[in-house]
Amino acid sequence: MQPISLSSPLLLLDQPVLADATLMFEFCQDPVFERFLTVPWPYNASDAETFISRYIPGAWKSDEEYTWALRAPGSTDLMGIICLRVPSGSIGFWLGACHRGNGFIPEAQRLVADWAFAEGIVEAIHWECLVGNIASSRVARKSGFTFTGVGPSLAAYRDGSHPPSWQGWLYADDDRLPKDGWPQEVLAP
């Protein structure tokens, strides 16, 4: 598939470009990334460049993963990344710390889900995070995912393991409202 852009008044999702590598490298130095994400650690500038120039184009071409840069409309500055893996329907995302708390990830998830469901790319979207990643869990709940429990992660982590992960699903006909049944620590203020 050829890469496409998605947009709303809040957000533009388009293709990461090599000019994004510097910000990607800077954002990926966040200790939260080391604890909760599958990105290489330590994360080097060459990791960002390889991800942008090789991995993303190859994954779009092979229809195994669609990856977008998050940007404010009218800006070229990278704020984060969101991807949809096919055929598992697994969604992944990260946001630079300075951009968190503004509703960008729920909006990005909505754009990706609406597109994927409308195009018949997937019938359901799977979300997971390591147990204890409260921020990711709150975003998934806010986006309408149904919590389905704890299990080994589908995605292998950087050491090859599949650690215990909170998991959830979003279906095309879901109302996208927050659902009950999430762990208490996710619901706490």
**Domain ranges, ordered by start, for the chain:** 6-187
Q: Name 149's Cβ contacts closer than 8 Å, sequence gap at least 6.
A: 166, 167
The sign of the CA dihedral 172, 175, 180, 184 is: positive
Model pTM score: 0.94
pLDDT at 34: 86
Our measurement of the distance from residue 95's CA atom to the centroid of its chain's CA atoms, rounded to an integer in Å, reads 9
pLDDT at 137: 95
Architecture of domain 6-187: 3-Layer(aba) Sandwich (3.40)
Q: Can you say whether residue 175 is alpha, beta or left, with left for phi > 0 and alpha for psi between -120 and 50 degrees?
A: alpha
pLDDT, tens only, 25-72: 999 999 988 888 888 888 899 999 999 999 999 999 999 999 999 999
Q: Name 172's Cβ contacts closer than 8 Å, sequence gap at least 6.
A: 117, 123, 124
pLDDT at 31: 92
Residues of the chain with confidence (pLDDT) below 50: none
